[in-house]
Every structure is written in structure tokens, then in C-alpha cells.
């Protein structure tokens, strides 16, 4: 009998591991502690510690620093069990969340994307010093920790994760900035190539930007949208100064946005990629992002590239077919109407995120299967583990626009002759989605799903130019950046240019199981779209007016793609000059748009010279 008793005791850990991780399991196996951690300047930061009750070994610390709160406050537990992050619970990680300086229950003053100070003087602080001080306190005071710390975070917490790498605390072993905010003027969140992302910026900062005079567990309320039609609300509100009136005077960062319309020092010091050479080679980094991230797709690709170019640490990249943060959700099998063939979020959690941190924080397992670049190619719906990104066999191939609406491989002409033209009317801007919705909070579902949504509704408009290939006779795989190299002219002195790369499905296409019940026949899937504010074509610091009706080069790079256009599909390019209300409207006059009046918005005739314009696509041989 005693023999069987000891066998049962030996089997208990395995039974526990096999149990379903739910709220009851977490309460039975973890403790929660809330406390204040002092920083070097005396400010204290509110911190929540979820620690395993298991004392058979010492455990690593996994830290997230956030401006979005440590909620739930009090006795309730954060619902880690509802995502792939539950695997960290099974591995007995000490999970710690901290309200950053000046947010929620932490003391001090908050500053948006607080600039990193590379050569600090006595008494100076930034997010790197706050991270250092937090880690230092944790390894010295959190019971039963093994002295190894990792940091991760998605979006704004991804920014804090990047700054954690610059803290260079000796206990910090691994950091994963995920959809990291890196550059708020060129490509992340609130500006893309100088164009203001209106719907995101207004809806987000009308709540998030409200002042918090003293620590609180109660979050701010966003703007009260009284018009149930989102498109109409933004169009009727009109010029940007009208939104400023709605904001009021108390939201500092909105005022900063309005005061810095160009890429001046205010924005430049907030570019986190500038300082990544300061990352200690001993700190491993795992950059994670979504191919269809409506907010920080730029940040993931370009932070990875910056670290590769400037730092000497072990740096890896993961890009999946995800909206903003979808890899941390339970379901990564589809986005909107487009299916990816498997639960990509679950695969990432089991095969990338957990093994990465286990290896560096627990000295457990192997990272041999986590290659330099772990990229999901939509279209073919397959993960590729690659030794380099972009791939060595990638070749930029130029595709020429045609007056017959065709798209074919070729080189642009040296002369400027044939063109197509359209009337861009700010009173009737091109919508970015086909239906109406109210964006009450960020992220709204439609706001994220537009990234692979059906573009048939725009291809039917007279103010959108459409070019497409013949039906493909074999698969065409693209992996890398897309470059729009346009020759344009306009009747005004400024204009925006939106270029969209689209996968046109066959007319008889249908999924075997279509939960959305959406007609997929001839679906025009957005693969990548990006905007360029024309006045920044030569410099983001010094905008330039166009000379009316003079052919002018506008060239810009879209974020990388990883997509296979299957045999029987077509490639399509769409070009337009508005994308509303995703992006604010251009008055189509050269001016400070943040000071424009409603009367400043003018119609303009836009010409695209097809023989002198090409779209450069990253073609893979294999």
C-alpha cells in the first residue's frame, strides 16, 4: 500500500500540470501582492506581483510595464488563463505588472513616449532608469526568484519593453517588444509618412490623454460620440481645429500634436530606434508583430531592422497574420473574412514565446527551432523559419502601370507622357471600410479588420485608379518591402497618395467552412496599404509645395509583406488620394493642415503618369 502511495505522490505534479488552467487553478496555485516600488528620485510605482505557491525551486520574473493599468486592482486576478500566456503559469513564472510613472496608481508625472536620455546627468530619469530600478528591487525583494528577469509588452507596453533593453540591468536576460511603438511620425499609430491618423488619434487621446492629477484605479472616459454613423461624424466635424475644440484644453499630447506638424526635434527624440546600439549583447530580443496590424506594423519590422543594423545581441523576429496583439489571444485562425488555416496564436505561444523565455530565464529547453526570422506567409498559409530577413533570394521587381488598367513586370519610361486622372474631392473622401460603425474605443473591430478587408467597394469608385495582372498561371510569393515610385501631377499644391496592394481571389473561390458567411467570390483582399502626404515627399522636416500641373516624383516605402498570390488569383494595385476617416483629409493646398479652416478644402485633379510610375515588389524565387 505504501508503494502505491509514493507512486501517487510522484504522479501529483504531472496531474497538476495536466489540469486545465482556469481562474480556480490560478487562485489555488498563485498569490497576488500589490505594493509600491521606489525609484531613484523617490517616486514610487504601483506594482502587482503574481507569484507561484510552489517552493520546490526558484522562479524567473517576467515583467510588463504599462500605461494601461495593472487592473484588476484588489483581490481579483488578471485573466492570464484566457490566452496563450497561460503557459507561463504552468511553468511557474513570477508575473509582474507595473503602472508606469504618472499613470493609474503610480506616483509622478506621465510623459508620452518619454525620450530616452543616453548620457544622463545626476538626477535625470527616463523609462530605462525606471526599469532598472524596478528590476533591481524585484531581484532583491521578491521571494524565491532565480535572479533572471524578462520583459515583454504589446503596443505602448512594447515601447517600455524596448526601453527596458536600454536599462542594461545585469539580471535582465531577455526582452520581447511586441507591436512596439517606435516612431509616432513616420509609421506608428498617429502618423503615417506625416499623414495624421485621425480616427485613431482622436478616439484614443480623447480618453487616454486626459490628465490624472493623483493616483486612481478609475480610468478616464473617452469622447461621447453622439452620431451613430462614424463616417458622418468625422466628415461633419470637418477641419482639424474643430476636433481641437472638442478635445478642450486639458489634453497635453493633443496640443503637442497640433504644435508639431512636421518631423522636428519633438518627434525625433521619441524615435526609440536611434539608441538600440546601447543594448547589451547579453540581452536577447524577440521582436513580434502582425502582418495586418493597423497600429504598429511599422514598429515591429523597423525595430527589428534597427537592432540588426546597430546592436550586437541575439535578435529574432516573428511576424504572424495578426491584428494588433492577436498573438496574445485565443484565436489566430482568421482576421475578418480571411482564414489562415490554423490557430497561429496558439502555435506562436507554444513554439516561440514560451521556449524563448524558458531558454533565457530558466536555462531550459532549446531555441534551435526559433530561427532568425519566423514569418507567416498569408495566401499560402504557412510558417517559414528563415536564416535572414529579407530572404537572400529576394529581388525587387518593378511592375508597370498601364493606361488599360493592367499591371505587368517592366521598367518605367524615362519620358512623361500617358496618364490617368481622377478628381479628389475632400467633401466626398474615399472610405477605408465599406460599412458604418462607431469607434467608441480603441481598438474597434472594424478598425483592425480593414487591414485585410474586401476592396471591391473602392475599385468601383471613379476617384480610385485600379491596375491588375492577368490571372496568375503559377504561385507568386512576395517577402519584403513594397516601394511605390510614382510620377504625379495635380491642380493644387498638395495631395495625399494611398497605394494598396491587393490579392484578387478567383470568381469561384469559397472556403470549405465560412463562419462569416461572406461572399468570397472575387474577394479583393488588402495585403498592404499605406499613405504618403505629398508635401513630405523629399523631407519630413521641411515640407514642400507642388507646382500645379508639373510632373513630380513621389516615392515611398510601404511596410514589409509576406504573402503568396496563388495560381488562379490576380495582383491588383489601387491608387487614391483619401482614406477616410482613417486618415485626416488633405485640403489639397500647401499649408499647416492642423490650422486649416473648413473653407480651405478644395477639389483637385490628380494625374498618375503610368509609363513613368512603377510599384516595386519583393519577389522570392522559392
Tens digits of residue pLDDT in 425-458: 999 999 999 876 655 544 455 679 999 999 999 9
In the predicted model, what is the mean pLDDT of residues 290-297?
97
Q: Is the pLDDT of residue 8 over 70?
A: no
- If you average pLDDT over residues 572-579, what whole number do you get? 98
- Cβ contacts of residue 272 below 8 Å, gap of 6+? 113, 116, 159, 162, 163, 180, 181, 182, 183, 303
List, in sequence order, every residue forming a beta bridge with 562; answer none if it has no partner: 479
Strands across the sheet containing 172-178: 30-38, 44-52, 94-99, 59-66, 145-154, 172-178, 284-290, 315-320, 373-377, 382-386
User: Residue 3: pLDDT above 70?
Assistant: no
Is residue 82 a part of any domain in this protein? no
Q: Does residue 210 have a pLDDT over 70?
A: yes
Q: Does 161 reside within a domain?
A: no
In angstroms, the CA 221 to CA 249 distance is 16
Give the cell for residue 300.
Answer: 515591429
pLDDT, residue 441, reads 44
The confidence band for 297, taking pLDDT boundaries of 50, 70 and 90, is very high
Listed residue (455, 556, 448) closest to 502, CA to CA: 455
The separation between CA 47 and the C-alpha centre of its own chain, rounded to angstroms, equals: 26
The verdict on residue 484 lying in a domain is: yes
Position of cell 462569416? 516
For residue 97, what pLDDT is reported?
98
Asked if 274 contacts 307 with a C-beta cutoff of 8 angstroms, the reply is no
- Residue-wise pLDDT for 42-51, tens only, equals 999 999 999 9
Asked if pLDDT for residue 2 goes beyond 90, the answer is: no
Model pLDDT, residue 226? 86
With a cut of 80, say whether residue 517 has pLDDT above it: yes
Give residues with Cβ within 8 angstroms of 256, minimum separation 6.
112, 266
Identify whether 230 is part of a domain: no
Within-domain flag for 377: no
* pLDDT for 593: 98
In a domain, 545, yes or no: yes
- Residue whose cell numbers read 490628465: 211
Q: If you average pLDDT over every residue of the chain, what do you get? A: 94
Give which of 183, 463, 473 is closest to 299, Cα–Cα.
Answer: 183
Q: Average pLDDT, stretch 304-317?
A: 98
Element (H, E) at 233: helix 230-237
**Does the structure show a pLDDT above 60 at 10?**
no
pLDDT at res. 445: 57
309, pLDDT greater than 80:
yes
HSE of 102 in the Cβ direction (CA atoms, 13 Å)?
Answer: 14
Average pLDDT over residues 404-432: 93
Q: Report the Cα–Cα distance between both ends of the chain, in Å, rounded.
A: 63
Q: Are strands 315-320 and 373-377 parallel, antiparallel or unpaired?
A: parallel
Predicted confidence (pLDDT) per residue in 466-512, tens digit: 999 999 999 999 999 999 999 999 999 999 999 999 999 999 999 99
Number of domain units in the chain:
1
Cβ burial of 579 (10 Å; 0-12, 13-18, 19+) is buried
CA pair distance 342, 354, nearest whole angstrom: 19
- Determine contact, residues 553/537, Cβ cutoff 8 Å: yes
CATH code of 506's domain:
2.60.120.260
- Report how far apart, in Å, the C-alpha atoms of 2 and of each of 7, 10, 305 are: 9, 13, 60
The confidence band for 566, taking pLDDT boundaries of 50, 70 and 90, is very high
Looking at residues 42-64, what average pLDDT do you find?
97
Beta bridge partners of 570: 504
58, part of any domain: no
How many CB atoms lie under 10 A from the CB of residue 316? Answer: 21
Q: How far, in Å, are 145, 317, 422, 578 from residue 47 at the CA level?
A: 16, 29, 56, 44
Residue 205 resides in a domain: no
Write 185-189 long-range contacts (CB < 8 A, 24+): 185/263, 185/267, 185/540, 186/263, 186/298, 186/540, 187/297, 187/298, 187/299, 187/302, 187/559, 188/295, 188/296, 188/298, 188/299, 189/295, 189/296
Residue 64 bridge partners (DSSP)? 97
Residue 139 exposure: Cα atoms within 13 Å on the Cβ side: 17
Question: C-alpha cell of 581?
Answer: 476617416
Residue 516 binned pLDDT confidence (cut-offs 50, 70, 90): confident
The pLDDT of residue 272:
93
Domain residues for 569? 394-620
Task: Count Cβ atoms within 10 A of the Cβ of residue 219 and give its class: 0-12 exposed, 13-18 middle, 19 or more buried.
Answer: middle
| pLDDT at residue 105 greater than cutoff 70 | yes
pLDDT band, residue 127 (cuts 50/70/90): very high
Please provide the size of the chain in residues: 622
| Entry pTM | 0.95
**Average pLDDT score over residue span 519-548:** 98
Tell which residue, 381, 297, 293, has the closest CA to residue 340. Answer: 381
**Sign of the CA dihedral with 370 first, then 371, 374, and 377 last:** negative
Q: Taking residues 266-281, what's their average pLDDT?
A: 96
Amino acid at each position: 500500500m505504501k508503494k502505491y502511495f509514493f507512486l501517487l505522490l510522484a504522479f501529483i505534479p504531472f496531474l497538476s500540470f495536466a489540469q486545465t488552467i482556469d481562474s480556480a487553478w490560478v487562485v489555488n496555485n498563485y498569490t497576488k501582492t500589490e505594493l509600491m516600488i521606489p525609484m531613484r528620485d523617490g517616486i514610487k510605482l504601483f506594482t502587482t506581483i503574481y507569484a507561484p505557491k510552489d517552493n520546490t525551486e526558484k522562479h524567473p520574473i517576467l515583467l510588463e510595464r504599462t500605461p494601461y493599468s495593472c487592473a484588476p486592482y484588489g483581490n481579483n486576478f488578471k485573466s492570464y488563463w484566457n490566452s496563450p500566456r497561460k503557459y507561463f503559469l504552468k511553468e511557474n513564472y513570477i508575473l509582474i505588472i507595473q503602472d508606469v510613472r504618472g499613470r493609474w496608481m503610480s506616483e509622478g508625472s506621465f510623459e508620452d513616449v518619454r525620450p530616452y536620455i543616453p548620457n544622463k546627468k545626476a538626477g535625470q530619469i527616463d523609462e530605462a532608469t525606471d526599469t532598472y530600478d524596478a528590476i533591481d528591487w524585484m531581484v532583491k525583494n521578491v521571494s524565491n526568484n532565480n535572479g533572471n528577469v524578462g520583459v515583454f509588452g504589446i503596443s505602448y507596453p512594447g515601447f517600455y519593453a524596448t526601453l527596458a533593453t536600454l536599462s542594461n540591468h545585469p539580471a535582465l536576460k531577455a526582452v520581447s517588444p511586441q507591436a512596439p511603438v517606435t516612431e509616432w511620425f513616420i509609421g506608428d499609430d498617429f502618423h503615417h509618412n506625416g499623414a495624421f491618423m485621425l480616427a485613431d488619434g482622436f478616439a484614443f487621446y480623447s480618453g487616454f490623454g486626459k490628465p490624472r492629477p493623483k493616483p486612481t484605479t478609475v480610468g478616464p472616459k473617452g469622447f461621447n460620440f453622439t452620431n451613430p454613423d462614424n463616417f458622418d461624424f468625422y466628415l461633419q466635424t470637418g477641419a482639424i481645429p474643430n476636433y481641437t475644440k472638442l478635445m478642450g484644453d486639458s489634453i497635453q499630447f493633443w496640443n503637442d500634436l497640433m504644435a508639431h506638424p512636421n518631423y522636428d526635434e519633438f518627434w525625433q527624440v521619441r524615435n526609440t530606434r536611434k539608441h538600440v546600439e546601447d543594448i547589451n549583447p547579453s540581452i536577447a530580443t524577440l521582436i513580434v508583430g502582425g502582418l495586418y496590424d493597423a497600429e504598429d506594423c511599422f514598429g515591429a519590422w523597423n525595430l527589428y531592422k534597427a537592432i540588426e543594423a546597430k546592436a550586437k545581441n541575439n535578435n529574432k523576429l516573428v511576424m504572424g497574420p495578426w491584428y494588433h496583439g492577436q498573438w496574445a489571444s485565443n484565436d489566430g485562425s482568421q482576421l475578418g473574412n480571411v482564414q489562415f488555416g490554423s490557430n497561429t496564436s496558439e502555435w506562436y505561444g507554444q513554439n516561440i514565446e514560451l521556449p524563448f523565455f524558458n531558454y533565457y530565464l530558466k536555462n531550459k529547453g532549446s531555441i534551435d527551432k526559433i530561427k532568425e526570422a519566423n514569418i507567416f506567409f498569408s495566401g499560402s498559409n504557412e510558417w517559414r523559419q528563415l536564416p535572414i530577413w529579407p530572404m537572400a533570394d529576394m529581388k525587387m521587381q518593378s511592375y508597370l502601370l498601364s493606361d488599360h488598367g493592367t499591371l505587368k513586370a517592366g521598367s518605367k519610361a524615362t519620358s512623361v507622357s500617358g496618364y490617368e486622372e481622377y478628381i479628389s474631392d475632400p467633401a466626398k473622401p474615399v472610405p477605408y471600410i465599406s460599412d458604418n460603425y462607431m469607434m467608441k474605443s480603441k481598438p474597434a473591430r472594424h478598425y483592425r479588420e480593414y487591414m485585410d478587408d474586401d476592396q471591391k467597394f473602392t475599385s468601383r469608385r471613379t476617384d480610385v485608379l485600379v491596375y491588375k495582372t492577368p490571372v496568375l498561371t503559377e504561385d507568386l510569393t512576395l517577402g519584403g518591402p513594397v516601394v511605390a515610385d510614382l510620377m504625379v501631377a495635380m491642380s493644387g499644391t498638395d495631395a495625399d497618395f494611398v497605394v494598396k496592394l491587393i490579392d484578387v481571389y478567383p470568381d469561384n473561390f469559397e472556403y470549405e467552412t465560412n463562419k462569416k458567411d461572406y461572399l468570397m467570390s472575387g474577394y479583393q483582399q488588402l495585403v498592404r496599404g499605406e499613405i504618403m502626404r505629398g508635401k513630405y515627399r523629399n523631407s519630413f522636416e521641411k515640407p514642400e509645395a507642388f507646382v500645379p500641373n508639373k510632373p513630380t516624383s513621389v516615392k515611398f516605402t510601404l511596410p514589409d509583406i509576406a504573402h503568396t498570390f496563388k495560381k488562379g488569383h490576380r495582383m491588383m494595385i489601387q491608387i487614391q488620394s483619401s482614406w477616410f476617416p482613417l486618415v485626416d483629409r488633405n485640403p489639397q493646398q500647401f499649408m499647416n493642415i492642423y490650422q486649416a479652416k473648413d473653407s480651405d478644402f478644395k477639389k483637385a485633379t490628380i494625374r498618375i503618369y503610368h509609363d513613368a510610375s512603377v510599384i516595386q515588389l519583393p519577389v522570392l524565387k522559392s
